[in-house]
Amino acid sequence: MMSQSWKTSSITITKSTPSGRHMKSQASANGSDTLAINRQRALRRREMARSVRDIRSRLGAPESRHSTFEHERQHLFADTRINAAFAAPLLALIVAAISSLWVSPQFMGAWFLITICTHFLMVVISHSYEKAPSDQKVRIVWSRRFIIGDLIYGCSWALFFLMPVASGAGEGLVIFHFAALLIVIAMNTMQSANLPKCLLASTLPITFFVTFSFLQQSSAVHYTLAAMAIGAQGFFLILGNQLLKNANTMLEYRADKDHLIAELETANSMSDEARRRAEAANLAKSRFLATMSHELRTPLNAILGFSEIMKDEVLGSMANKTYRAYAEDIHGSGEHLLNLINEILDLSRIEAGRHELHEEPILLEDVVAECGTMMKVRAKAKSIVLHHAHQSDLPRVWADERALRQVVLNLMSNAVKFTPIGGEVRVNLGPTSDGGQYVSVRDNGPGIPEEEIPTVLEAFGQGSHAIKSAEPGTGLGLSIVQALISMHDGTFKIKSQLGEGTEVTVCLPPSRNMNYPADDKSVAPGSLDARLRTANSG
């Protein structure tokens, strides 16, 4: 026998080995997937932290911050030059046309061509920069091209102030030169403010030659204008520096916005992933409950049936009273487990939106009376007095009778459960102020602390009194009540004070009332007959 049992057990082990290997391989695969997901999340967190550190370092280091946006400011410089491609030639044409009053038209024509050529040279360089690949834009050669181009452009404007003038030009030419100086320096400041070196290259030659030209004259007016030209140059340099700061600030905000957008996209992707996992977990939960409901109820029916036969001694008396007590305990535990399964399934169906209401005209008074009859045995066991008060002539309501019965039973069961021995439970039924109907259940138990009410209303939530007294329950009753009343478009209210008891009220809206005789069940709300009868009764 020993050898035979040993062989049997060895055969059993051998048969179970392949499935064990399969489970191990599946577990290892799941573990590798989890490890890969965790690595991806760690990489995303590190990238996000690196981005935050970069932003903080830029905000804390103003000098390095400017160099960080060098390439962005080059792009702004090129874009400004391209947008002003036709504005600068128009200004040069106006200046050349007015200067023809004092300067030979041949000289002004030659100067105009030189200025236009240098201007369009800068436009071509800017276009080339915009079309260049990103890896070539970072090269320092573009900065040199911009500086040299602006220097040539500034020198071309400086030639204007060195043109030979006709005799007897007078002070009008001097004033025009100074006005042209201010306009040209202001224009170049606006165009080249994003690159300080280009700003100096395009404005200093003009100021230098104008000042030199004014100082060649020995009059107080020329000396004054020379000093003002130098002051104007300083003013526009300060203005250019302020424009540069504004550009840096704008680029900082843009960079921060881009980083925040990247972080939001990362958080959004993580949220989508978490939602997908939650949906998959919810689907798995639904499948599990659908499968386990059958798998658990089948053996429970046998347990409840056989234990009931044993405790009631249907097949004969049991000599041992302890066995009979065990059978009663088994039957009670089985009923508790079956109620727990039913409540979990009801709540899961409601949360999944799969709970359908089978509505019909019913009298809420009959539902409350039936529930009171069912609760009398439990109340009598604790010497609790049930008081039932209702207003007569209440109309029928269009509702699911089973759902409302479950609501009232849960409320009365909780009241009886937490009411001390010899206490009272009052059930009231009547119309609401807006024309609906309400059911309230009030007990004189220990009450619920105000801070624990949200916990009690959650699924599987229990108050401190329930935990201390170890009252049997799952904490799903009030959650199911709220869900069922919400499906009927009703409201749920709970009031409680320590030492005075708890009152729970559920209300059905006026739209659930059926304004026709209580003994007529043939008319459903929403039908033509129902609307006609409602109008006639009104």
The pLDDT of residue 54 is 60
Cα 393 vs. chain centroid, distance in angstroms? 50
pLDDT digits (tens, 9 = 90+) for 42-58: 566 666 656 555 655 55
The pLDDT of residue 474 is 59
d(C-alpha 142, C-alpha 147), whole Å: 9
Cα 446 vs. chain centroid, distance in angstroms? 41
Report the run of H or E that residue 97 belongs to, with start and end: helix 87-99
The pLDDT of residue 281 is 82
Strands 501-508, 385-390: parallel, antiparallel or unpaired by DSSP?
Answer: unpaired
User: Which of the residues in the chain have pLDDT under 70?
Assistant: 1-68, 167-169, 286, 289-290, 292-294, 347-355, 459-475, 515-538
Angle at 481 between CA 479 and CA 485, to 5 degrees: 120
3-state secondary structure of 526: coil
Q: Is 334 left (phi over 0), alpha (psi -120 to 50) or beta?
A: alpha
The pLDDT of residue 114 is 92
Q: Could you tell me the residue ranges of all domains in the chain?
A: 62-264, 361-516+527-537
Cα 43 vs. chain centroid, distance in angstroms? 22
Alpha-carbon torsion angle 318, 321, 323, 327, nearest 10: 90
The pLDDT of residue 455 is 72
Distances (CA, A) of 290 to 282, 474, 503: 12, 19, 35
d(C-alpha 398, C-alpha 412), whole Å: 22
Contact status, residue 440 vs residue 508, Cβ threshold 8 Å: no
Report the run of H or E that residue 400 belongs to, with start and end: strand 396-400
Contact status, residue 489 vs residue 512, Cβ threshold 8 Å: yes
Strands 437-443, 424-431: parallel, antiparallel or unpaired by DSSP?
Answer: antiparallel
Tokens of 516: 């026709």
Q: What single string gives the DSSP state of each residue in 79-91?
A: HHHHHTTTHHHHH
Helices within 312-393 (DSSP H only): 321-351, 364-381
The pLDDT of residue 248 is 84
The pLDDT of residue 152 is 92
* Architecture (CATH level 2) of domain 361-516+527-537: 2-Layer Sandwich (3.30)
